[in-house]
Chains A and B, each alone.
Chain A
Amino acid sequence: MAKLHVSTTINGEPQEFLCDAEQSMLDVLRGPLGLTGAKEGCGTGDCGACTITLNGRIVCSCLMLAAEAEGQEIGTIEGMAGEELHPLQQKFLESAALQCGICTPGVLMAAKALLEKNPDPTEHEVRFWLAGNLCRCTGYDKIIRAVMDTAADMRAAR
């Protein structure tokens, strides 16, 4: 079958690619585009390890067809750090808020989206927001604390 041609924007840069209809956005990111930060955990939208942003909102890239990226803006974990790590990334390192790291890119994408919307979340709000990101190592406490601490740091820095 003929390949589909897709023009999109990834982390602010125009990007074109060819794909098969049945390829997910995650397949194309991790394969031809070489952006392997997003992970395939379950492939069914349960675990959130493949979280990216679509027009600024977090979605599961395993449940999005690559063809659906046409004309849209995609953000991935590779676009999170600038010259320096994003404060969330730095805090996750400092507070060991990860173990095996498979869920971490998705957690960071979701947490960043939360803090952009709500710079002063309660613990309950952080837990609600991150409900779509499963972590089988940490038991979540360090993740939740790292997000709360980052939020406090970012508020103090403003």
Chain B
Amino acid sequence: MKPFTYERAGSPAEAAAAAARRPEAKFIAGGTNLLDLMKLQIETPAHLIDVNGLKLDTIEPTQEGGLRIGALVRNTDLAADERVRRDYGVLSRALLAGASGQLRNRATTAGNLLQRTRCPYFYDTNMACNKRRPGSGCSAIGGINRQHAVVGASEACIATHPSDMAVAMRVLDASIETVKPQGATRTISIAELHRLPGDTPNVETVLEAGELITAVTLPRPVGGSQQYRKVRDRASYAFALVSVAAIVQPDGSGRVALGGVAHKPWRLDAADAEMPRGAKAVAGKLFADAKPTEHNAFKLPLAERALASVLADARG
């Protein structure tokens, strides 16, 4: 690891002030991805602001009948929360499909959203990667890209977002509360938080430098059958080749978001509208603009079949 300086913040205002003082700083909470990347010198912050003491670790009901999840609520606690299990089952299932007990105990709600891709070319500092070193090229395009994006990718980057939780948050229409270094707060919809790679795959979210996520809010429960299906190379502890987060209502209407297929959780209004017509129709819309590579075209039929299986389960 490159040497860095370290400070602890005691409140969101303190963290924001620290970020304003040290623009080259990064926030550290769970550390399960950041420290890993720092060891490989993919991330080399000169300063870390430890936000674990910010007390943003509660889950509170909102006036609108939803839930406000503190940024520091650990994945284990979020998955186990009774209200989440009862009203937002897709979220609990997605969380438990990810990582291991050790990592879920440490990983936070905000940090999970901000995970970096697990593209092997991003992780290998000897390879060209526009995300790691802008302008250096993309070794995944034309490389072994079986795990990579089939839709929404660009000539600069075909990486996927690795999070399971974010896919569930997308299907639940979560919103993200933040505080900027100068103290201003704002709310960002989960649909807007993550960017497609375009020409700047190194810019992964709309967050500004030093902007801190303080909470993730879920709207009031929408009921329905809530499913998360993750397909991967081994039965546990692996990232998704394809995952499906779906909420299916008794009349067959519903919504669906896919993981493992794009630079962000992939959901389209036009695809949701096809839910009563079944998996083929939905997948047709989700993948209308798909451009699979030599190695990952299998993801299209795989996602459609995973969705068909989820819909069959939802019907009981």
Q: Which residues of A contact B (CB under 8 A)?
A: 1, 4, 20-22, 24, 43-45, 48, 51, 54, 57-60, 62-65, 67-68, 70, 110, 113, 127-129, 131-133
Chain A: CB-nearest residue to B96: A128
A48-B6 in contact (CB<8A): no
Tell me which residues across on chain B come within 8 A of A68, comparing CB atoms. Answer: 28, 31, 50, 52
- Interface residue? B35 (CB, 8 A): yes
Is A21 within 8 A of B3, CB to CB?
yes
Chain B residues with CB below 8 A from A65, complex form = 6, 28, 31, 35, 48, 50
Contacts of B32 in A (CB 8 A): 45, 60, 63
* CB-defined contacts of B4 to chain A, threshold 8 Å: 21-22
A interface, over-half SS: mixed
Q: Which of A43, A59, A67 has the most CB of B within 10 A?
A: A59
Q: Would A48 and B3 be within 8 Å (CB), given that A60-B106, A63-B106 are in contact?
A: no
Having A54-B105, A131-B236, A132-B102, one finds 14 other A-B pairs with CB under 8 Å, namely A22-B3, A45-B102, A57-B76, A58-B102, A59-B105, A60-B103, A63-B32, A64-B35, A65-B6, A68-B31, A70-B8, A127-B236, A128-B236, A131-B100
Assembled-state Cα–Cα distance A51/B103 (Å): 10
Q: A28 CB to closest chain B CB, in angstroms? A: 14
Size range of the interface on B?
A: 20 to 34
Q: Are A45 and B103 in contact (CB under 8 A)?
A: yes
A43's partner among B2, B39, B236 (CB-CB below 8 A) is: B39
Q: Which of B23-56 contact A (CB under 8 A)?
A: 28, 31-32, 35-36, 38-39, 48, 50, 52
B312 part of interface (Cβ distance < 8 Å): no
Closest residue of chain B to A134 (Cβ to Cβ) is: B237
Task: Confirm or deny: B126 has a beta carbon within 8 angstroms of a beta carbon on chain A.
Answer: no
**CB interface residues, B 214-244, toward A, < 8 Å:** 236-237
Closest to B29 in A: A68
Residue in chain A with minimal CB distance to B40: A44
Interface residue B203 (Cβ < 8 Å from any Cβ of A): no
Residues of chain B with a CB closer than 8 A to A57's CB: 76, 105
The 7 closest A-B pairs by CB, nearest first: A132-B100, A21-B6, A131-B236, A22-B1, A57-B105, A132-B102, A131-B237
Contacts of B38 in A (CB 8 A): 22
B5 adjacent to chain A (CB < 8 Å): yes
- Which residues of chain B are near A1, meaning CB under 8 Å? 3, 5
Contact sample, A vs B, 8 pairs, CB 8 Å cutoff: A1-B5, A44-B36, A60-B106, A63-B36, A63-B106, A110-B101, A113-B101, A127-B236
Which residues of A lie under 8 Å from residue B105 when comparing CB positions? 54, 57-59
A43 vs B2: C-alpha distance in the bound complex, in angstroms?
16
> Which among B8, B28, B36, B99 has the highest number of chain A CB atoms within 10 Å?
B36
Question: How far is the CB of B97 from the nearest CB of chain A, in Å?
Answer: 11
The interface residues of chain A lying within 8 Å CB-to-CB of B76 are 57
Query: Per a CB cutoff under 8 Å, which of A43, A54, A58, A62 touches B101?
Result: A58
CB distance from A67 to the nearest CB of B (A): 5
By the criterion CB–CB under 8 Å, are B102 and A59 in contact?
yes
- State how many angstroms separate the Cβ of A36 from the closest Cβ of chain B: 19
